[in-house]
Amino acid sequence: MSIQTDVKFIDFLLKYTSGKIDDMPLYHGNDISEFIAAKESPDVTYTCAGKKGVSALAVKKLFDRLAADDRINLAGFGMMADGEVIAQYYKEPYSKDYRHVSFSMCKSVISMAVGIAENDGILFLDEKVSDIFTVHDGVFFKRGMKDITIKNLLTMTSCVSFDEVGSAFAMDWRKAYMSSDISFVSETGFSYNSMNTYMLAAIIVKRTGRSVMDYLKEKLFHPMKIYDITWDKCPMGIEKGGFGMKLSLIDMLKLGQLYLNNGMWIVDGEEKQLVPKAWVEESTQIHVRLGRDIIAGYGYQIWLLTDGSFLYNGVFGQNVYVNRDRGIVIATTASAYDIFPDGKIVNLLSEFADCDDNFKPDIINLVPCLEKKAIVNKCMKKLWDMSPFDMNRFRQYFGTHFGTEYKFDEYAGSVLPISIQCIYSVYQTGIKSVMLGFKEDHLYFRVCEDDVIYNIRLGYKKGELYAYQILEIKGKSFPIAAGAHVAFDEDNRPLIKIKIMYLEEVGIMSFKLIFHGDKLVLKALELPRLYTVGGKLSKEEYIKKKNNKVPIRNLFETPEYMKYKLKKVLEPVVTGKADL
């Protein structure tokens, strides 16, 4: 992150903490606004784990471990063996009906597109990026810019300082990239940067005269019967490349299986080489040796692990783990605190693959075919402090407060997580008032924000812990599941917990409502906690560059005033008064 970017980022935080969203510098644009449900995959076969030489009990145990960890916040888990699906689990309230944001996992899909394009003869890895985008080279190139090749983009060794945060402040990402500084790093020259992947997408668009999606629909997606992938675009209408994709868990598994098949897929009953075999082999070789914990190195937009497997990886736990020796593909979606592959999820996947006992079929196969099933883990920690209440008990504890509007004079959080606001440029000024109420047999959480009323239905009873609905926020549709429950504080006083799960996104809003006479204390918390995520990102060597004079960690560690301001926004605790 450059000094210029740091200044802009600080300016953004100050504006947000002051409620000045009208002049926000951020603009992403060109994202998919409507909700698109996940489709069935007609060419996938489901079977029992034991029939493929895998222990069904071991697979279930792996899912239980992932689902029980609050810092993983698992959404979905799937496994293929020998090309067939042997597990498809979802942690409530997620299900097969929803796609999920991929974050950087889709970088590996861009690598597939580059390999296909090279095979088509429309680009070459030793080409200079400056020879492709001559119109964006400016009068003066920064030192080293003319030497950057397509291979440098693939291996994250361009060392260009224009990065993900910087892209939020630029309209033409190609021009900003080409005019950026070069931040040389020691030894490997590896500097993880999504803008390298974006430039690969831009090269495909320039050379083919088509969008990346149109190119891949013909070459890859439609032959594989993948129809529900969408890819958000930059302000200039080019796919974001390194992020912005949504797809289903099954489609993630299929893209992993494609590389386990060395780029081969059955199309209309015949084997077809969709991605060149030589490209699969080359892109899954170590081109930059890293040697950090479980990470051996980096290939062409693909991580190589010390257990011999390779990984398509996205931040917060979006993974496609491919182990050739075991013949398995594992996919996960989550809202985890894992920033890079060396986190809890990938370590557990690697441990599973390393154990020979997990690849012995059970004497009695206790887990049948899991097609179309959303399994709720019975062993995981309870989502709430107590068993579900019925309507009468809600009324018993809080009946006098239902139907009363409580107004806030200071920032009280938002119905939409800040991280999602930033991703889609859907900025909210903060909750102005809330009200709880029953309508017939339904419990509602009424939220007023930006002069818009959101009536969010809440699940609250056995068999309906969550209520499913579409939340429309500034023209964008967000599928959510929301639930409420009664808990007790340390003084045994009742309070209401509300959880709003954004089913396609990495983002959960949690609210605690504590009533005191005519006042309501509202505690809002976004998961994953941005304060924790920011601290982890600041320490990641993969995104640091030598010429950073104002590293981002200063925002999260010092000064104290900034910490105070951030806490007020990221984890607000405010008191509202009844509007009688």
Indicate whether 433 and 475 sit together in one domain. Answer: yes
Asked if 542 contacts 378 with a C-beta cutoff of 8 angstroms, the reply is no
Q: Each residue of 140-167: pLDDT tens digit?
A: 567 778 899 999 999 999 999 998 888 8
Per residue in 67-79, pLDDT tens?
Answer: 999 999 999 999 9
Q: Which of 93, 111, 144, 120 is CA-nearest to residue 458?
A: 93
CA distances to 102, 214, 288, 303, 549 from 192, rounded to whole Å, are 17, 27, 11, 11, 18
Q: Decide if pLDDT at 534 tops 80.
A: no
User: 249 or 138: whose pLDDT is higher?
Assistant: 249
One domain for residues 451 and 329: no
Co-location of 349 and 415 in the same domain: no
Quick count: other Cβ atoms within 10 Å of Cβ 248?
Answer: 26
Phi first, then psi, for residue 144 (nearest 5°) are: 95, -15
* Number of domains forming the structure of the chain: 2
pLDDT tier for residue 369 given thresholds of 50, 70 and 90: very low
- 332 shares its domain with 390: no
Q: Is residue 368 part of a domain?
A: no
Tokens of 248: 């289903």
- CATH number of the domain that 80 lies in? 3.40.710.10
Instruction: Look at residues 427, 418, 417 and name the one whose alpha carbon lies nearest to residue 450.
Output: 427
Integer Cα distance of 95 and 352 in angstroms = 24
Burial class (CB in 10 A: 0-12, 13-18, 19+), 344: middle
- Could you report the per-residue pLDDT of 63-109, keeping only the tens digit for each? 999 999 999 999 999 999 999 999 999 999 999 999 999 999 999 99
Nearest to 113 by CA among 203, 175, 31: 203
DSSP structural state of residue 549: S
| pLDDT band of 127, cuts 50, 70, 90 | very high
Q: How far apart are CA 275 and CA 117, in angstroms?
A: 10
Residue 421: which domain range? Answer: 3-27+385-578
Inform me whether the pLDDT recorded for 484 exceeds 70.
Answer: yes
Q: 405 and 457 share a domain? A: yes
Task: Look up tokens 């594989």; give the residue.
Answer: 224
243 token code pair: 């992020």
Q: Are residues 516 and 437 in the same domain?
A: yes
- Whether residue 374 is contained in a domain is answered as no
135 with 213, same domain: the answer is yes
Q: How far apart are CA 153 and CA 198, in angstroms?
A: 9
